[in-house]
Chain A
């Protein structure tokens, strides 16, 4: 009988894993042109091909890698490189915190493994899941984006002829369009979500264009804008107990 229970659990895990895989495919496709550009930029800047690939395999982040490699190429100090990358990546703390409330019970080592795969896109997809997020689902969700990110880097690093310039430029919009595809349907259904999105957009615009405030780095501006908008949401539209 115990065997039957284990078998059933395995079956659920497998379904969860493949559901994750399915949802990860569009993310992976969106990653390829971005990491292609990364590989190309790194190698053109004098970084060896294998290091460019190593960076993508160990970092798995877009803005942080671009900034970090840009600084390596410019021969910046280790301190500058580390600090800049860290500031850009602080936003992951918000995502990780948010996910900590949404995952099923699991041992610490599993949390440590799945934490590696938190990116803007995997977080966005996982956090808008209707139910609790399991380890198997997260591993499925992460798999294709991880290898897509690596594949794009390899292609970009070894390529000599570039994609047609216009096509490459057009691909730049893909991930943003995906973000839009995630929050627009939710904002249609919930006025609270709509208000939070609009507030976040307004504040990140302020940090982009307002005098003085526009000196804040893009990493910080996302964090501050998101905290302000989510706080306003929590004050204006506190969730009812049964919704939480």
Chain B
């Protein structure tokens, strides 16, 4: 049990450290135009890299994931907001999986 608690503590520590260090250290605004541009694009880059291809393994079935991906893209393109896009994709995946197993 002690080992498990130690593991939990260490996990919490190495999850917190990367979150806190840059935020605590970079107190000044960075002046370099290149680095500022780089940081401006980071959210888009991180989001893109996190979404694909992981999304294809997000559900029990490749094809239902693909349908969910397409539905989410279309709804997001129509600027439907976070909730609608998420719920629309979930619903599409659910219906798709019902159809597949019929």
Q: Which residues of A contact B (CB under 8 A)?
A: 26-27, 29-30, 47, 51, 54-55, 58-61, 64-65, 68, 71-72, 78, 81-82, 85-86, 89-101, 103, 108, 111-112, 114-116, 118, 120, 123-124, 127-128, 165-167, 169-188, 192-193, 196-201, 203-205, 208-209, 218, 221-222, 225-227, 229-231, 233-235, 237-239, 241, 244
Contact = CB atoms under 8 A, between A and B. Distances in A.
A90 B46 CA distance: 12
Most chain B beta carbons < 10 A, residue from A29, A184, A227: A184
Contact of B60 (A71, A99, A169): A169
29 contacts: A55-B12, A58-B12, A59-B12, A85-B10, A85-B15, A92-B15, A92-B19, A96-B23, A115-B20, A116-B16, A120-B50, A169-B59, A172-B58, A176-B69, A180-B85, A182-B47, A182-B82, A183-B51, A185-B76, A196-B41, A229-B44, A230-B45, A233-B40, A233-B44, A234-B34, A234-B35, A234-B41, A244-B37, A244-B40
Closest 4 CB pairs of A and B: A200-B48, A184-B76, A233-B41, A177-B89
Contacts of A85: 10-11, 14-15
Contacts of B36: 101, 239, 244
Main secondary structure of the interface of A (DSSP, over half): helix
Interface in B4-51: 4-27, 29-30, 33-51
Contacts of B48: 183, 196-201, 204, 225-226, 229
A204 B53 contact: yes
A176 B20 contact: no
A178 B50 CA distance: 12
Contacts, number: 310
Contacts of B52: 201, 204-205
Nearest to A204: B49
Interface of B: 3-27, 29-30, 33-55, 58-61, 64-65, 68-69, 71-73, 75-77, 79-83, 85-91, 93-94, 97-98, 101
Contact of A89 (B15, B50, B59, B83): B15
B18 A200 contact: no
A60 B15 contact: yes
Contacts of A95: 19, 42, 46
Contact of B82 (A26, A72, A90, A92): A26
A116 B19 contact: yes
Contacts of A54: 8
A114 B64 CA distance: 37
Nearest to B8: A55
Contact of B19 (A115, A218, A226): A115
B83 A72 contact: no
Contact of A92 (B5, B18, B86): B18
Nearest to A97: B22
